[in-house]
Structure 1
Amino acid sequence: MSNKNDLNVDEKNIDELFENCKKNKLSKVVRKAKWFSIIRNIIICIFVIIAISIANLQALGSKGQKLLDDIKEFNYISAPNTFISQYMVHVGGLNGDIQYYTYKIVEDKPMYFDQKRWKYSIIPLFSEMIADVTNISIGKAETEQQLYDNPKYNKYGRELMKFYYPYVKYDKYQNDLQLVDKIGDNKSMEMVLSFDKLYSIDEVNKLIPKDITLTWYWVDTSNDKEKEEHKSSEMDYANDNTKKYISPNEIALEDKVYGIKVLDRHGVIKESPENTFIDVIESQKDKKSRFQSEYKRIYDNLKGKDNKVTKDDLKIQGVVVTGNVEEMKKLKELPFIKASSLGIVVDKY
């Protein structure tokens, strides 16, 4: 009788032992499966992160290159006598950054002028935010017109040249040609000449003395409505229509004007430089870019009855010239020059 009970007990123990072995094996299998799943998920996550990072960098790089190309293209019709030299594109995260340097050419001498920076993002809301463009105004200003008249500098202390519209009547015109006598004979300089009226390119070429280097034509790109907006006018204050506000006559700074570059980036005079200006606005007006709306506005304002822009449609309201002291003296008292604004002055040798 006791032997039978002992046998039953042994069978129970054996069953429990096998059951425990099964549970242990199953537990090990489950643990291995869990670890395998965790490791697999980690590897998948790593590959996904790497793939997303590569795709993000490619997208940022592509967008940065596109924006850089847009900036270079826009430089052809803006930035008087100013060219892009070194540039850098930085990408990281969801944002990118373009930084580039500009120089001017004064009588075959390149001179560092400015550094500009653009931020952009693959998220449209934060895309292409410009930075580092604040100009510095020097001098007291009791009125807004005086604020316009005061000298303006970029962040590196380079004075920005002023352009005076021929269809705006100013109380005071800047005449920096009178400063030429005070500049040493061993100097060369850059100067804006604002005209008394609009001229054709051929007329301008006849007006400017031959030994003066003409580097840039200032093209009239405004329509009649925009021209009126450049003039002083009486307006109501936004928060009090019982008081009147007199807006000043606008003076354009060199970073807000459009025209034709006569020199290439090596300082070589281009043949028929107006063709580059026309080709750029024609090719860019329908191309999606940071500056498309401005290209479209300029093209619409310039095009003739044939719906095209030709050399005859380009009216010149001023120029940028360079020369030494003796050459610049020849510009004094010329009747078609309404205002003059000095730019960069460099050592002749």
Structure 2
Amino acid sequence: MSKENEFFPKDFEFEKLVKKARKRSLIKMTLISLVISLIVLTGLYLLGDTVMKMKMEKETNFDSIWNEIIGANVEEQGTTYNYSPTTATAKTKLVKKVGGVPIPWGEQEKVFTILGTSTLITTDGPSGSGSIEDERIPLYYHGERVVEFFHPQVKYKQIFDDRALLNKIDDNSVVEMAFSFDKGYSIEEVNQVFKDQLAWYWVDTFSKDDIKEHNELNKNERFSKGYTINGFEAYGFQYNQHSKAKQASNFISILEAIKEEGGNYQDEAAEIFNNITNQGKMELEPKNLKIIGVVVTGKPSDLKKFSDKSMIRGAILGATTDQY
């Protein structure tokens, strides 16, 4: 059949127009898809960034509040934030104030992502070195001694008393020392004895099961020198010389607030609350807090006046520094 006789003769110009239209349509659809994808990705990124910042604000707030009641004589100095396109890092500096002199006490670092996750960057904890024959292996952190405590209802293999070391330290230095008591005392009773050098109260947050566990640990032959509570694990609150200061009330308020909504600390706060109140059988108020130890600071000569206090069951030297 000849081209002249074709029923539908080909129109090459029309075919070119169709191909060109298809190409334009494909390019248009591709551009629209790219724009939509960019808008969606940007929206997701902004949403993730907002979620990350909200999570970081909430968690760092919880961390800051929790740091007020854990760690013997440790307080926050400030938090810095570093941002990248997909992450943010919060670094919180901790210090000890010994005789009014701040001593750096490490950092807490958390990394947050736009995926809504957070990771605590763990740092080295307290450690000690020595031989099995050593009578005592003190714990150190950042080159300074770490305070340790002895619970009044736990039987230890040996309870140490570092008060004799005060005679070997120059009086141009300032030191901290942790005193563990023979029983629980009221805040007023503790203030009467230690007020001038008082820095921090150790609150009894142990349950009967905790005491049983610690007694069993101290019977364990693997712990040849005994199992103590180091300063990183102790709960309590700072002493403030201001007459209107209410640190005990602040300690209670923190526990109650974190118990209700405290993120990762909620269960721990609830457990402490129940231990102090005997499973809710008594009110959580300052007069019902049992103080079973303190941290005192000052010059060696200032702390020697506590050498004859019968309420002191154990005494552990902590951080030391020059007074000037």
| Superposition TM-score, scaled by structure 1 size | 0.82
3-state SS of 1:139 partner: coil
Displacement of 1:186: 0.9
Change (3 A) 1:36 1:330: same
What is the CA–CA distance in structure 2 between the aligned matches of 1:187 and 1:60, rounded to whole Å?
45
Does residue 228 of structure 1 match 2:212?
A: yes
Change (3 A) 1:233 1:190: closer
Check conservation: 1:303, 1:310, Cα contact below 8 A: no
Provide Cα deviations, 1:223-254, integer angstroms capped at 9, x if missing partner: 1111111113599xxxxxxxxx6464430111
| Superposition TM-score, scaled by structure 2 size | 0.88
**Corresponding residue for residue 294 of structure 2:** 319
**Corresponding residue for residue 138 of structure 2:** 151
Change (3 A) 1:96 1:308: farther
Greater radius of gyration (CA): 1
Note the residue ranges of structure 1 that are not aligned, 5 or more in a row.
Answer: 1-7, 236-244
Match of 2:73 among 75, 81, 84: 81
Which residue identity lines up with residue 320 of structure 1 in the other structure? V
Matches within 5 A, 1:48-67: 48-67=40-59
Which residue identity lines up with residue 344 of structure 1 in the other structure? A
Matches within 5 A, 1:86-235: 86-90=78-82, 96-120=88-112, 127-141=118-132, 150-154=137-141, 156-208=142-194, 210=195, 212-232=196-216
What is the CA–CA distance in structure 2 between the aligned matches of 1:337 and 1:48, rounded to whole Å?
66
CA RMSD of aligned residues (A): 2.9
Which residue identity lines up with residue 260 of structure 1 in the other structure? F
Number of residues of Structure 1 aligned to a counterpart in Structure 2: 319
Deviates more, 1:302-311 or 1:66-75: 302-311
Does residue 299 of structure 1 match 2:290?
A: no
What is the CA–CA distance in structure 2 between the aligned matches of 1:184 and 1:233, rounded to whole Å?
37
Which residue identity lines up with residue 40 of structure 1 in the other structure? I
Change (3 A) 1:307 1:166: closer
What is the CA–CA distance in structure 2 between the aligned matches of 1:220 and 1:250, rounded to whole Å?
17
Change (3 A) 1:9 1:48: closer
Displacement of 1:339: 1.3
Deviates more, 1:127-136 or 1:53-62: 127-136
Which residue identity lines up with residue 313 of structure 1 in the other structure? N
Check conservation: 1:94, 1:122, Cα contact below 8 A: yes
Check conservation: 2:276, 2:289, Cα contact below 8 A: yes
Provide Cα deviations, 1:282-330, integer angstroms capped at 9, x if missing partner: 1221114110111101111112666520122100110011111211111
Change (3 A) 1:129 1:261: same
What is the CA–CA distance in structure 1 between the aligned matches of 2:74 and 2:36, rounded to whole Å?
51
Change (3 A) 1:87 1:234: closer
